[in-house]
Amino acid sequence: MPPKNKPSKAAKWANRIVGHAEVPATEIMAHPLNPRYHPETQHAAMGEALTRLGWIQEVIINKKTGRMLDGHLRVKIAAERGETVPVVYVDLTEAEERLALASFDPLGGLAMDDPEMLGDLLSGIDLGDSALDTLLSTKAQDAALARIFDGEDETGFKASEGPRLPNMGQNIAIVIPIANLGLFEKTIRATGEPNRGKAVEEICRTYMDSRGELEV
């Protein structure tokens, strides 16, 4: 006799993908309820990514309605160039279509960057001064600042919910463009300091000492 109150097996996730195709960008219908707009900086960076990498992700279209769910900016850029677009078709009801459209970016935006791993990742990329390179450099700087200020100072200020670092007593936020982010991250790690604020202080101290201008 089977035991009572045995938990039922969870239903298998449905596969809503129903096809793939290569479609002229000018024939793809933007979703009329798409709430996101794309600033010029993102347009430029996305164009560079497509030029340097090509298509590495399909645009999503609901087969039932013909409306695009994800990939509006890529399609816009492709249409400007007269390109075709790789498409994956899904089969969703109109209610499910709204949920998908509303949740794509918010769900992705919940991810957080580990500054150390992001630094390692970008150290192998030759970053220049293009829109895409500037975007990547800024992202790394933002991740580093989030880690520096993830604790709480003596005034009770708390910048994020990440893991806490030792309270340094004084906090200063500096946002500067760095062409060679890999060199910066390598130098930070070379100090051996677990706290990035301390690492920057050690670099400054070493430099001033080399000039004979270190104040004791």
Q: From edge to edge, which strands make up the β-sheet containing 59-62?
A: 17-24, 84-90, 59-62, 68-70
pLDDT at 159: 42
How far, in Å, are 101, 152, 157, 164, 165 from residue 195 at the CA level? 40, 14, 18, 11, 7
Picking from 97, 95, 74, the residue whose alpha carbon sits closest to that of residue 86 is 74
The architecture in CATH of the region 17-109 reads Alpha-Beta Complex (3.90)
pLDDT at 130: 84
Domain span(s) for CATH 3.90.1530.10 in the chain: 17-109
Average confidence (pLDDT) per 10 residues, the chain, 216 residues: 62 96 96 91 92 96 96 96 97 96 86 79 80 79 58 42 42 64 79 79 87 75
pLDDT at 157: 40
DSSP state of 33: T
CA-to-CA distance for 151 and 195, rounded, in angstroms? 11
How far, in Å, are 19, 77, 102, 158 from residue 80 at the CA level? 25, 5, 26, 45
CA-to-CA distance for 128 and 136, rounded, in angstroms? 10
Report the run of H or E that residue 22 belongs to, with start and end.
Answer: strand 17-24
